[in-house]
Amino acid sequence: MSARHLSRLNEAQLRAVLHPPNVPLQILAGPGSGKTRVLTSRIAHLIEQHKIQPSSICAVTFTNKAAKEMRERLTNLIGKDQTEQIKLGTFHALCALFLRRHASIIGLDGNFSICDADESKKVVTKLLKAHKETLAGPSSIISEGNVLSLISKAKAKGYSPEEFHRFLGRGDPSTDYAVIAEIYAEYEKTLRQSNSLDFDDLLVFGVRLFAHQRVVEWCKHVLVDEFQDTNTMQYELMRHIAASSRCVTVVGDPDQSIYGWRSAEIENLERMERDFPSTTQIMLEQNYRSTGSILSTCMAIISQDKGRIEKTLRTSNPAGFTPVLKRFPTEHEEASFVATEIKRLIAFTGGMLTWNDFVILLRMSSLSRTLEAALQREGIPCRVLAGHKFFDRLEVKDLLAYLQLVDNPYFVPAFSRVINTPSRTIGEKTVAEILAQADKRRISPVDLVERIHDGSIPDIKPPVRKKLASFVQTIRSLRLRAQEGESTSELIRHLLDLTEYEAWLRKTQPDWDSRWENVQELINFASEVERTTPAPREDHSSKEQPAEWTDSQAEFDTDALADAGGETPLRLFLQASMLSTDVEAQDESEKTPKVTIATCHAAKGLEWPVVMIPAVEKGIFPSARAEDIEEERRLLYVACTRAQGLLYLTHADSRMVNGRRNRQMVSEFILAVRSKLQMLFRDDLPNLKKNDRDVLTQVLNRDAPNESDVSRMVAEYQRTVKCVSTSARRSPSPYGRASSPTRTAWRDSPPAILPA
Ligand code: ATP
Ligand code: MG
């Protein structure tokens, strides 16, 4: 047996990789114990050893960045060709992929656009305005933000508007919930009319698709990373995929569940055991990531979590450099310290560390400005990993909206955004009239504008007519190019020419030059997507007839950009940009070493040699707005456990928060365990000794077990695997928030039936 994908695994990890494909498996373990590594090796093993078709494997990661890393590792293990066939990505990206190809099965048009939070917000604002009179309740629950979040929560649970009212409003017609349920229903209708889906819809319709009898055969094996942060819809998706095959593997850590605020449900662990009886649990207890003293600091923090069940996590890494807690008068001294300390460490390690080895983790992205400025003063290059930010910029959104309209002429939010960008002096009333008429005639707004000469829109002056005609011409000509499969980078260049966008930026934006750079960055991103997105492979028929065929869908389809579900370069690009959860657009810059600034949420699953966490203060960490204090503590734990060799926590006595200078106190998470923390509390600079450098080198260059060790372990496993899978020791689980006596558990120490 080729041991390549089995090398560098310990015994418990190896058991997890070799576990029979059709026995449901939960790998629950602490940070840095190799869960993600095991998942990747298991995929390779399914393909290499069990000859499973790569195209029948669905591997789910939490971010696109994690997907990219997994793809790279798999490419190294099993080659590019096989890796490209695996359905690998976030739940959202996988749903988008399947819906594009097979939406018609559930009566949906595969040419849908993906609507971002901003566009959803605009729809809700309009609907709220229309319902203003009927809303009676306190204003706190009726802001757009709240309505959107309620709709999103309902969708994450899979509730229809009626169910939403029944469950949340308890069916009481006098409450605002009744109105919100109505807004929810109208919101859905509006999105469907412009043939668009929001992020939650991708999951809702994805589940509907996978619940369908005919699709069960597409994917048989499902493997999910970061399972502790799945919501109901994501769980349902996983359940449907594995319903008949029972080939399901999940890895996760209840101590790292940090997305409760986005409807993640830790109960999914229990649900899985109910839905998949005889689910086996394997526990990993060896941490490979961090030094001993970082690990004990992390354990001291998480041990305060009230609902937690104690578990073991040990490391054979050296104790290493003691984590540092430092206090500063204000955020400015704190930021300067961070910058100078980074330089000092680089000098101290004689270049062993580069800028890439440092991360600054923030509870909220608004804290980053002061830090960015301090790094800049010291000449330290940095990148900011701050969620969707790049795609939120005005110029990027303008161009994306044009491309969305080219892809889907029915997409109203895109039409509304670009009809006057660059300005065509069309009044709001005229735009509203265009949309209303288009809706009435069930044609796209672009089609309606094309027909202005027949008097459909009154009061349009000849110069405006001319501009509108040129607008339609632009969309039509780009659409033709897209249909012919032109690359998106070329398409954007034509778009810029046709709309004279640069001149418009110069005229209207004082900082037009940096905006123009972002436009160029978008072109780079398009080239990157073209280079890295595997060409679509048709694994099954993509042209099924819809279950129910309505007139409106027929009309949408006659105007389809490509065959229903066709993945044109433009569509792949739009999907990649709409679903970007991190800084893919800046991935190019990863080649030049830079210090990373990221939110703690975005750092999930990743690791760095040096982690610095500023503003560990009351009101910030935990956030004053947090509903679940334990989730905040877990977030701090996630942040600290990213560190391999060095960990710094800092706090300031005074800080500008929301435009006001506040007196700050160190976080209660630290105060509570101060005596237990193995930390440097002195205010002087940490004294780096030669020994620290050696330890760092050791942690960062771990040794792999040699080939003969692996072969021996595989042989041992194979001798015993049969009896293990039928009669594994039963014991209550030390994992999860509530334990279940029915689980079978394997820990690092092998079950009794394994040879010692
Ligand atoms: P998290 O909970 O933070 O996502 P994880 O359990 O997924 O962590 P990994 O990211 O898979 O952990 O692994 C942590 C680090 O340990 C990685 O650098 C990985 O390469 C390394 N590692 C994992 N297993 C081993 C092993 N058996 N030998 C050496 N290094 C290992
Ligand atoms: Mg992981």
| pLDDT tens figures, 46-78 | 999 999 999 999 999 988 888 988 999 999 999
pLDDT of 191 strictly over 50: yes
Beta-carbon contacts of residue 544 (< 8 Å; ≥ 6 apart) = 102, 104, 105, 214
Tell which residue, 3, 548, 622, 565, has the closest CA to residue 304: 622
Bin 312: left if φ > 0, else alpha if -120 < ψ < 50, else beta.
beta
For ligand 1, atom 14: residue with the closest CA:
32
Confidence of residue 541 (pLDDT cuts 50, 70, 90): very low
**Cβ(230) to ligand 1 under 6 A?**
no
| Nearest ligand to residue 288 Cα | 1
> How much distance in Å is there from the Cα of 32 to the middle of ligand 2?
7
pLDDT at 605: 93
8 A C-beta contact, residue 105 and residue 209: yes
> How much distance in Å is there from the Cα of 702 to the middle of ligand 1?
11
pLDDT at 387: 52
Name the percent of the chain in helix, strand, coil, to the closest 5.
55, 10, 35
pLDDT of 142 strictly over 60: yes
pTM greater than 0.95 (yes/no): no
**Cβ(700) to ligand 1 under 6 A?**
no
What is the tens place of the pLDDT at every residue in 558-574? 233 333 346 788 988 99
**Cβ(609) to ligand 1 under 6 A?**
no
pLDDT at 455: 64
pLDDT of 145 strictly over 90: no
Complex ipTM more than 0.95, yes or no: yes
Higher pLDDT, 297 or 678: 297
**Cβ(110) to ligand 1 under 6 A?**
no
What is the tens place of the pLDDT at every residue in 505-529? 988 887 787 788 888 888 888 888 8
What is the tens place of the pLDDT at every residue in 290-310? 999 899 999 999 998 887 878
pLDDT of 584 strictly over 60: no
pLDDT at 346: 86
Cα–Cα distance, 412 to 405 (Å, whole number): 8
pLDDT at 710: 54
What is the tens place of the pLDDT at every residue in 245-257? 999 999 999 999 9
Which atom of ligand 1 is nearest the CA belonging to 703? 29
Cα–Cα distance, 428 to 519 (Å, whole number): 27
pLDDT at 75: 95
Cα–Cα distance, 454 to 451 (Å, whole number): 6
pLDDT of 140 strictly over 60: no
> Containing H/E element for 43?
helix 35-48
For ligand 1, atom 27: residue with the closest CA:
9
Mean pLDDT (the chain, rounded): 81
The catalytic site residues sit at 35-36, 225-226, 256, 642
pLDDT at 627: 85
Average pLDDT over every residue of 221-241: 95
pLDDT of 636 strictly over 90: yes
Average pLDDT over every residue of 240-249: 93
Confidence of residue 499 (pLDDT cuts 50, 70, 90): very high
| Nearest ligand to residue 701 Cα | 1
Higher pLDDT, 60 or 157: 60
8 A C-beta contact, residue 107 and residue 548: yes
Which of 171-175, 367-371, 579-583 has the largest mean confidence? 367-371
pLDDT of 424 strictly over 90: no
Which atom of ligand 1 is nearest the CA belonging to 37? 11
Question: How wide is the angle at C-alpha 193 spanned by C-alphas 404 and 411, nearest 5°?
Answer: 15
8 A C-beta contact, residue 35 and residue 66: no
Cα–Cα distance, 31 to 311 (Å, whole number): 12
Average pLDDT over every residue of 533-539: 54
Cα–Cα distance, 644 to 341 (Å, whole number): 17
**Cβ(288) to ligand 1 under 6 A?**
yes
